[in-house]
Amino acid sequence: MAKLYFRYAVMNAGKSTQLLQIAYDYEKNNKRKILCLKPYNDTKEGDYIISRLENGEIKRKCDFLILHDEDWLFNKLVSEINKAKECKNPISIVLIDEAQFLSKENVWDLARIVTEYDVPVICFGLKIDALGNPFEGSSHLFALAQNIEEVTTRAICRISRTPKKATMNLRLVNGQPVFQGEQVAIENDKDIKYLPVCLDIYMKLKQGKIKLQDYI
């Protein structure tokens, strides 16, 4: 039986890299059809999933972007599944990046695909936002996913002077930590950036006990 999977982590921990590796293994090594998707409101890379590595970047274009309309994702996936079957090349797996941006209805649609059509779905996303609050998509994936796993490949605090696991996403606006504002603020090359940090550093910065410039 297929399952709904949720792989979560802080930013820059290797989620997209893992997704693209799975996609490569299915498509190139096993010659199997897959779908790679992400929500429409992740605007950072347009309709691409991109992983930036030390020696360059790898990317794949999304098969389509996910809308939030009720039943839209279910109907779209059913259409794709049926078309693939007619071509004698059934869909083996659905991979979703930036799954924190899914709506509640999207997650229920994925649960239906898994249980009614026996197609596995793996979602990759953040657990919480930079304010420490859960995302709608993530909270419902934690509720419905049958297999939940933390991605810790590169989840190391970028500020602590001793190795610590990063569990929080620190938002920087013009180089300064920010702990209020909108839930979604897409990282860009100008004023908004994010750093994965441990809870200890996050809390000390939030409470004003330390200054960021003393650490980086």
Query: Which residues are CB-contacts of 17 (< 8 A; sequence separation ≥ 6)?
Result: 51, 53, 58, 153
User: What b/e readout covers 153-178, taking b as 16+ CB neighbours within 10 angstroms?
Assistant: eebbbbbeeeebebbbbbbbeeeebe
What would the pLDDT profile of 70-83 be if each residue is shown by its tens digit? 999 999 999 999 99
Per-residue confidence (pLDDT) for residue 72, from 0 to 100? 97
Cβ count within 10 A of residue 29:
8
Q: Where are the alpha helices (DSSP H) in 25-135?
A: 72-86, 104-117
Candidates 84, 103, 40; CA nearest to 66 is: 40
Residue of 27, 45, 57, 98 marked active site: 98
Within a 10 A sphere around the Cβ of 116, how many other Cβ atoms?
12
- Structure confidence at residue 189 (pLDDT): 59
Mean pLDDT of 177-184: 91
pLDDT attached to residue 169: 96
Largest CA distance in the chain: 62
Torsion on CA atoms 129, 34, 147, 10, rounded to nearest 10: -20
How many whole angstroms separate alpha carbon 183 and alpha carbon 25?
Answer: 34
Name the nearest CA neighbour of 137 among 104, 167, 114: 104
Q: Phi and psi of 36, rounded to 5°?
A: -110, 125
pLDDT of residue 170: 96
Enumerate domains of the chain plus CATH numbers: 4-150 (3.40.50.300), 168-214 (no CATH)
Unique residue bearing structure tokens 């649960």: 111
pLDDT at 78: 98
Minimal CA–CA distance to 197: which of 179, 174, 181? 179
pLDDT above 80 (res 30): no
98 given a catalytic annotation: yes
